[in-house]
Structure 1
Amino acid sequence: MTTYILLLRGINVSGQKKIKMVDLKLALEKFGLKNVQTYIQSGNVVFESDELSKPILIASIESLILKTFEFEVPVLLFEAKEIKLILENSPYLAAETVAANHSYFVLFKTPAEDSLKQKLQSETFLNEEFSISSACIYLKCNVGYGKAKCNNNFFERKLKIQATTRNYKTMSKLVALAGFFN
């Protein structure tokens, strides 16, 4: 049994694409996923499955969401150990950065092209720093994410990929729900 972390992009934002987590949990359990746990209302789910193929799981969950909630949602799926490593490898884990809620993770649905990553890496922005890895962008927003130029849509446009952003607190909680930190 593998523990996965499922992230839905763009649900429950400004009244768009509303999914109650209790309904999502129920749908995923009926589908056959085990030990389903949700965290806050932004589409964060930890579950276990015998299915080892992430593409099969993603396609099945996307289909389930379309059938159940009648709209499409980008689905990002990671093994829990991948999220744990992403979290641990962040260059923005200084206590003051984490405490001020300035540390973010822009997680990629698919890998970005190296040429686009290199081009983006050369850009700089006032009050914002970022570092690009193979699976995500580590982002530090010194004045908070709400005022950031480097937001999820910005990175999606620059890298021509789908992504979703989570803060340090959410990433830590998902890793804890997956059983890594108790």
Structure 2
Amino acid sequence: MRTHVALLRGINVGGTGKVPMAELRTQLTGAGFGDVGTYIQSGNVVLSSDDPDPAAVAATIEALLRDQFAVPRPVVVFGRDEYLAAVADNPFPQVTEPKQLHAVFRAGPPTGAELAALEAAVAAARAKGSRDEAAVVGRVVYLHLPAEMGRSELAARITPRTKAADGGGTARNWATVRKLLDLLG
């Protein structure tokens, strides 16, 4: 069995997408996943599967969310090694405040148009005096947001695009990224 990190987008956020974590663990175990663990209530899952393909694991979890919870949500899955690499590849290792660093995990790498839009958003934020930064490595967009997510000029500019055209991406702050790393063992 291979270990995966599954990130469910929009679960238990803002009063929508209600999925009790205990019930999710039960349903995932019933669907054949092993070693199922969750972290907080916002859709962070570590599990093992006989299927080595992260896209296939994501599709199975998406179907389970839709069929068992009536919550159609995208799911992004990284295999253990890919997740470890994503953490190690953090282009902002100098950032020690986890609320200032976010990773947007995506189903696929950004397209050329998405990269251009991200660069334009960074430039526009900088023109307004922001110190926000972004970098892309593979399927992960890293965001250094010194003013934190809620007051970030860059986050305000990219959030609508992220929700619409990110290949199923979902953001996590660095504290959550590190906690999932701990759960991987």
Task: Mark yes or no: TM-score above 0.5.
Answer: yes
Counting only pairs closer than 5 Å after superposition, residues 22-171 of structure 1 correspond to structure 2 as: 22-94=22-94, 97-99=95-97, 101-122=99-120, 123-124=122-123, 125=125, 126-151=130-155, 153-156=159-162, 160-171=166-177
Query: Over residues 7-34 of structure 1, what are the superposed CA-to-partner deviations in whole Å (9 max), with x where a residue is unaligned?
Result: 0001111111111111111110111111
The answer as to whether partners of 2:98 and 2:174 remain within 8 angstroms in 1 is no
Task: For 1:154 and 1:80, locate their aligned partners in 2 and report how far apart those are by CA, in whole Å.
Answer: 29
Counterpart contact for 1:80–1:175, Cα < 8 Å = no
Q: Distance in 2 between matches of 1:160 and 1:45?
A: 20
Q: By how many angstroms is 1:156 displaced?
A: 1.5
Which amino acid is 1:78 matched to?
F
Give CA-to-partner distance per residue, 1:31-79, whole Å, 9 cap, x none. 1111001001110000111112333222221111111101201111110
3-state DSSP of counterpart to 2:142: strand
1:23 and 1:48 map into 2 onto residues whose CA distance is 17
Q: Which structure has the highest helix share of the two?
A: 2
- Give the percent of matched residue pairs that are identical in Structure 1 and Structure 2: 29
Distance in 2 (CA, whole Å) between partners of 1:55 and 1:92 is 27
The amino acid that maps onto 2:151 is K
How far residue 119 of structure 1 moved from its aligned partner, in angstroms, is 4.5
Aligned residue identity for 1:26: T
| CA offset digits 1:138-160 (Å, max 9, x no partner) | 10111111112333624426855
Q: Give the secondary structure class of the aligned counterpart of 1:120.
A: helix
SS at match of 1:87: helix
Task: Return 5+ residue gaps in structure 1 as ranges.
Answer: none
Shift of 1:105: 0.4
Whether 1:176 and 2:174 are equivalent positions in the alignment is no
Distance 1:175 1:127 in 2: 28
Q: Cα–Cα, structure 1 residues 100 and 156, in superposed 2: closer, same or farther, change >3 Å?
A: closer
Q: Would you say the 8 A contact 1:112–1:160 is kept in 2?
A: yes
Q: TM-score, normalised by structure 2?
A: 0.87
Cα distance in 2 between the residues matched to 1:60 and 1:129 = 34
